[in-house]
Structure 1
Amino acid sequence: MADDYDVIIVGSGAGGGTLAHRLAPSGRRVLILERGDWLPREPQNWDAAEVFVKNRYVSKDTWYDKDGKAFQPQIHYFVGGATKFYGAALYRLREQDFGELRHHGGISPAWPISYDDMAPYYAQAEELYQVHGIRGEDPSDPPGGPYPYPPVSHEPRIQKLFDDLARVGLHPFHSPNGIMLDESNPAFSACIRTATCDGFACLLHAKSDADVIAVRPALAHDNVTLVRNAEVRRLETDPSGGSIASVVADVDGAEQRFSGSIVVVSAGAVNSAKLLLSSASDTHPNGLANGSDQVGRNYVFHNSRAFLAISLEKNETRFQKTLGLNDWYLGDDDFEYPMGNVQMVGKSSAPMYRGEKPIAKLSPMFALNEMAEHAVDFWLSAEDLPDPGNRVTVGRSGEVTLSYTPNNREPLDQLYHRVKKHLSHLGMHPDHLIPRDIYMKNDIPVAGCAHQAGTVRFGDDPATSVLDTDCKAHELDNLYVVDTSFFPSIGAVNPALTAMANALRVGDHLLARLG
């Protein structure tokens, strides 16, 4: 195998995989180094007990919280990265998210680029990842042309919820979903009901993940190489310290070195920060690109809450993630601050309850199976704010500590109460009919790091950021980062589409740079 490339990409997820796809037709020699392997296509992909109880596909990594307590992060190392198990809800950030926003808990900083800068790449990412939706149905929708594919229709119980929400004066919309089938395809009914559910991989390869959409098509080009089971340990610079000379990785347990004109890191917000910090040297004693002491800081991952309501009628929905609600995204007359996004979670089942301790108090009226049959599952996301003290650090033995103190929690509570007050009008069991509150909730712990971002943020000022607006490190000539690490703030919608769009944007910059 040749060891000198035009571009080396560390990681094959939403950022790295999409970037490889953009670069592949150029003829430039591209190497993708992926820590994991191909995800096995096996019946267990769709087995709730295997996925949620046995954690069959979750990494065996151990991280530590701010108090030194060990935990297993809910991350996955496979070709395609976190997108193999994401819900494929592909939202654009709202136009206001790119500017400075005043929140109940402080300030969400402005980005160094505008929504208009990102808009054409959002459109390209939606086309590439085959996003289904209806533009403008959501009142908070940013400007843009129509989605490339029609929305995924609601199943009967979710359609009733949609109608009931509209009846009480709200504005539900069809969630933007990435899926590679349409409803005229005979395979649709067998596939869609599991293809994009949260937490599951798609056995049929019909979910728009970075593996199927980006990496495999990129590998059809002879100039693109994928090395699997390659854990990148450190980046070594030339003697001047001004550029990366070598990428050092353990490949199937043996150390190998790779060199390339450009190195792009896309390992996830925690692991990208870990890699830069672990690459400290005499010329970069605090870690690569860390003269500002910003690497690893400002970790964000959304203030999120999952809860379920009990429908009066059975909820036989298989794929529930077709509905969203953003009426309170930027606040309302009673709460002037942004609150966030409401969407549905993949339909719950009894094995999930047993596996993740989601319900501390069960109504005596419902056994687990009966509860699952009637459950309507909601997911709320509010913005947590960048805080330099919320950070990733690396110990002498390479152990990761993720120090995180929650902030800006009031908007999440406000959002929860606004949804809850409507539930009795939406065909759910009202409180007074049940001996205790049936609208149970479960806050997501720090281990639930699917939406991690912010640890290598970009900006105009090298004193307060790590990357410039092209996502190149201020301090190194050939180092870029294209996962969600670059986010200065996270907004309140799923970050995957923004990572994909930005990878396309950076890809165009790299193609111009390479000539």
Structure 2
Amino acid sequence: MKKPFNVLQASILKALTKALFHKVDMAITPDQVVANIQYQFSLMEGGKPREIGLTLYLVCLVLGGPLFLLLGPGWGARKVARRLERSQNDLMQDLARIRGVIYAGYYGHWQGASQTTEQGQIDNVDNPVLAQIGFTLPLYRERGAGEMPITHYDERDLSHADLVNHANVPDEVDVIVIGSGAGGAVAAANLARHGHDVLIVEVGGLWASRDLSHEERRMTSRLFVDGGLQSSRDHDVIVFQGRCVGGSTVINNGICLPVNREGLTHPDADDVLERWASLGAPVDKARFHAAYDAITARLSIQPIAHRAGRNNGLHLLKGWAAYAAKSTNPIDKAAPAVWFSKNFGPPNGPAECAYCGYCNTGCPYGRKQGMAQSFLRDARASGARILAETKAEAILWRDDRQDGKHVAHAVTVKLADGGERVIRARKGVVVAGGAMASSRLLQASGIGGAGTGLSFNMACPVVALMPNAVKSWDEDQMATYVDARDFLLESHFQPPMSMSTLMPGWIGDHAQRMRNYDRLASAGVLIPVDRQGSLIDGALHLKLRADVELPNLRRALATLSRVHFAAGALEVYPALARGTTLRRGEDIDAFFDRYVREADDVTLSTSHPHGGNARGSDPATSVVDLDCRVHNVANVLVADASTFTSCIRVNAQMTTMAMAHYATEHDPF
């Protein structure tokens, strides 16, 4: 294994590990933590290891340079603590990034080299870190009568035989679909059904369910863009996106939530489709709702079984009921508090979710119907081919025009070995790589306006300490939600490595919170960020507005904290950079006014980037027309979330699928 961090960088990591675990009983040595970090980063594609290495130098310098390495963990811990009190926010972000890396290296500890789900758990039955926090791997959990067994379902996977061998890349096809996620898979299935010779190009590899395991460090490094560390230019926001066949549907929670559906969304929330129409991008509502219905039928979308969220999911519903009962705000009184609907169906069948709690690192039990278990299989059945581990670099244009419009005739791709190929498209190209990748491709292909007006559903976690054991980890990661009109509250809980990186707190506080793993409940807020992002030189530029998003974030965090306390929490740990505890009886609004002044003050992430290549009738304010065809281009469609004209406010997966279906239900070529 090539070590991505040099001797000096490894020494800095070791010194930081000792400082962050000062006076903490460590289950593994600092040297083992550094070895774990080296291994995790060796699996990543791209430039994140180098970027983190440079950040290590900066952090070491501000913590005292050589003295930090020489004077021991006690001195280092005091230095970190003083910096937390005095630091400017940019330095706080750098410290927080490295803190997350080190905690991942500790709580992501994994024994043995097995890459199978079952053997990996057998090898880790005595994992000292997991034992220290009281976490039980799925293989060893007890399930009672009427519960789903945690077993593998074999019937839905693609296989590596479904992929095009790189030695046999076709020179020409009818249609090239770029991206295999929620948009690309649906578009490819429809286009293949229309009789086109379709080639799906995907930058990531294929991970069938039996290729997945519960080794979080390996799964996040291989399945996520930048190993789960993709961020905005200023590192204020982490952007989680999949880098594999099936895209982000492999690493999400299967949530399928349409916009503005009675009983599922707040009755007073803005109507998304009406908002699009007001911005010059109307959709045929009957057709769009029919698209939702088609997706629902294909994926057997149903509300999840209540047993799948019996602990943490119920915590949010009970807390909200107690909070809303005392609230005098009519917005609270009208808020739906609902079980999520997901694509695990059909219910009560052998493929129903086994709620192991590992959705975000891929379902190793074959239960989730991501794109690799559904629409990509449909596309293959109709003759489409999948070219994995291949990056689309640019769309190439003919010299002549068709009715005054540009015409795409090929796509330049780069194979895994670094070799480049040009694949001709007889009829057209569909871009569906997701909001950011599609924007980058269109920018590289000379499309003006691409990558502007990006929207986000921004997430921020809030963890609570309960009086007794909750075992939030023994259930579906995300089970229930509340739509409070201006924001959503969503129950969620993570396996140990991921939970440690979002858990606020430093040094002994963080360690103690993780030792209380059994007693933790957790949920997150989801706030809309409408058209505030743009891609500059390929990097995301995004700032939350002091008069829009930040006040809404404070309100959402305050509301969720009250819900936790209403459910019986002893204390609450909002995702503040400094790790400050909120205690029962404190003035909650004043707390968040004091500690959340800008985006740097909290941990923010998003799995729902959308927009960037907005639909619209006016080329001056949009990138694609009302049929999702790039303006002034005869034969290039965009069929993913990047076409959304404004922020949709709720989880984006189902609306992305519906938009792709809407654009390709009738043959566009």
Query: Residue 401 of structure 1 aligns with which residue?
Result: 539
Higher helix share: 2
Q: Is the 8 A contact 2:255 2:651 kept in 1?
A: yes
Partner of residue 272 from structure 2, selected from 78, 83, 97: 97
Give a deviation string over 1:199-238, Cα, whole Å, max 9, x none: 22011221121111111232123x2111111111111111
Q: Match of 1:377, as an amino acid?
A: S
Query: Residue 320 of structure 2 aligns with which residue?
Result: 165
Aligned partner of residue 208 in structure 1, secondary structure: coil
Query: Residue 352 of structure 1 aligns with which residue?
Result: 498
**RCO comparison, higher one (Cα < 8 Å, 6+):** 1
Matched, 1:422 2:568: no
Which stretch has the larger CA shift, 438-447 or 417-426?
A: 438-447
Q: Is the 8 A contact 2:460 2:604 kept in 1?
A: no
Which of structures 1 and 2 has the bigger CA Rg? 2
Instruction: Name the TM-score, length of structure 2 as normaliser.
Output: 0.61
Q: Distance in 2 between matches of 1:446 and 1:277?
A: 30
Query: Residue 111 of structure 2 aligns with which residue?
Result: none
The Cα of 1:64 is off from its aligned counterpart by: 7.8
Matched, 1:174 2:339: yes
The Cα of 1:28 is off from its aligned counterpart by: 1.9
Q: Is the 8 A contact 2:436 2:609 kept in 1?
A: yes
Matched, 1:155 2:306: no
Query: Residue 661 of structure 2 aligns with which residue?
Result: 504
The Cα of 1:161 is off from its aligned counterpart by: 4.4
Q: What are the residue-to-residue correspondences of 1:413-452 with 2, within 5 Å?
A: 413-429=554-570, 436-437=581-582, 448-452=605-609
Q: Structure 1 12/306 Cα, relative in aligned 2: closer, same or farther at 3 Å? A: same
Q: What are the residue-to-residue correspondences of 1:127-146 with 2, within 5 Å?
A: 127-133=297-303
Q: What are the residue-to-residue correspondences of 1:355-504 with 2, within 5 Å?
A: 356=501, 358-360=503-505, 367-387=512-532, 390-394=533-537, 400-407=538-545, 408-409=548-549, 410-429=551-570, 436-437=581-582, 448-504=605-661
Q: Structure 1 225/415 Cα, relative in aligned 2: closer, same or farther at 3 Å? A: same
Query: Residue 132 of structure 2 aligns with which residue?
Result: none
Q: Is the 8 A contact 1:301 1:449 kept in 2?
A: yes
The Cα of 1:43 is off from its aligned counterpart by: 7.2
Which stretch has the larger CA shift, 252-261 or 361-370?
A: 361-370
Partner of residue 409 from structure 2, selected from 241, 245, 266: 245
Q: Match of 2:272, as an amino acid?
A: D
Matched, 1:13 2:181: yes
Q: Distance in 2 between matches of 1:230 and 1:51?
A: 20
Instruction: Name the TM-score, length of structure 1 as normaliser.
Output: 0.78
Q: Structure 1 449/240 Cα, relative in aligned 2: closer, same or farther at 3 Å? A: farther
Q: Structure 1 452/370 Cα, relative in aligned 2: closer, same or farther at 3 Å? A: same
Q: Match of 2:497, as an amino acid?
A: P
Q: Distance in 2 between matches of 1:182 and 1:119?
A: 23
The Cα of 1:274 is off from its aligned counterpart by: 1.0
Partner of residue 199 from structure 2, selected from 31, 51, 58: 31
Q: Is the 8 A contact 1:349 1:369 kept in 2?
A: no
Q: Structure 1 273/414 Cα, relative in aligned 2: closer, same or farther at 3 Å? A: same
Query: Residue 289 of structure 2 aligns with which residue?
Result: 119
Matched, 1:228 2:388: yes
Q: Structure 1 451/476 Cα, relative in aligned 2: closer, same or farther at 3 Å? A: same
Q: Is the 8 A contact 1:46 1:194 kept in 2?
A: no
Query: Residue 313 of structure 1 aligns with which residue?
Result: 468
Q: Match of 2:274, as an amino acid?
A: G
Matched, 1:219 2:380: yes
Give a deviation string over 1:2-55, Cα, whole Å, max 9, x none: 433232100000000111122333332111111111026457632345446xx3
The Cα of 1:502 is off from its aligned counterpart by: 1.0
Which stretch has the larger CA shift, 414-423 or 378-387?
A: 414-423
Q: Identity of aligned pairs, percent?
A: 18
The Cα of 1:383 is off from its aligned counterpart by: 0.9
Q: Is the 8 A contact 1:310 1:438 kept in 2?
A: no
The alignment of Structure 1 onto Structure 2 pairs a total of residues equal to 451
The Cα of 1:81 is off from its aligned counterpart by: 0.7
The Cα of 1:99 is off from its aligned counterpart by: 2.4
Q: Structure 1 363/174 Cα, relative in aligned 2: closer, same or farther at 3 Å? A: farther
Q: RMSD over aligned Cα, in angstroms? A: 3.3
Unaligned stretches of 5+ residues in structure 1: 102-107, 134-148, 280-286, 330-338, 395-399
The Cα of 1:116 is off from its aligned counterpart by: 4.1
Q: Distance in 1 between matches of 2:251 and 2:432?
A: 17
The Cα of 1:486 is off from its aligned counterpart by: 0.4
Q: Is the 8 A contact 2:239 2:607 kept in 1?
A: no
The Cα of 1:473 is off from its aligned counterpart by: 0.7
Q: Is the 8 A contact 2:176 2:428 kept in 1?
A: yes
Q: Structure 1 122/151 Cα, relative in aligned 2: closer, same or farther at 3 Å? A: farther
Query: Residue 147 of structure 2 aligns with which residue?
Result: none
Unaligned stretches of 5+ residues in structure 2: 1-167, 262-270, 326-332, 573-579, 585-591
Q: Is the 8 A contact 2:439 2:450 kept in 1?
A: yes
The Cα of 1:405 is off from its aligned counterpart by: 1.2
Q: Is the 8 A contact 1:98 1:110 kept in 2?
A: no
